[in-house]
């Protein structure tokens, strides 16, 4: 299993943008990103550091595996 790094919401959103997600809307401190082809909505809390469980949830929402998600961080 791949160890997940500690990431900010800004870095996660950049990675999701590279994967084809676009910012759809923001409600409070949560940013919602949409992927047209996958018909998937991902919610990212706007925090300096995301908890490991939150990051795992974001990866699951995006319908990617950890390895694919980490490839978009670079």
pTM value?
0.93
Residue 1, pLDDT > 70, answer no
Strand order across the beta sheet in which 22-27 lies: 22-27, 30-35, 40-45
Q: Please, are residues 44 and 62 in contact by the beta-carbon 8 Å criterion?
A: no
| Span 32-73, pLDDT tens digits | 999 999 999 999 999 999 999 999 999 999 999 999 999 999
- All domains in the chain, ordered by first residue: 9-71 (3.30.920.30)
Residue 49: name the closest of 5, 6, 1, 17 by CA.
6
Tell me the per-residue pLDDT of 10-20, one tens digit each, with 9 for 90 and over: 999 999 999 99
Q: Is 57 exposed, middle or buried (0-12, 13-18, 19+ CB in 10 A)?
A: middle
């Amino acid at each position: 299993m791949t160890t997940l790094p500690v990431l900010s919401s800004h870095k996660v959103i950049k990675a999701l943008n590279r994967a084809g997600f676009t910012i759809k809307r923001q409600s409070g401190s949560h940013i919602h990103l949409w992927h047209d082809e996958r018909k998937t909505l991902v919610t990212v809390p706007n925090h300096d550091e995301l908890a490991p469980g939150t990051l795992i949830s974001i990866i699951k929402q995006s319908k990617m595996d950890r390895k694919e998600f980490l490839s978009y961080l670079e």
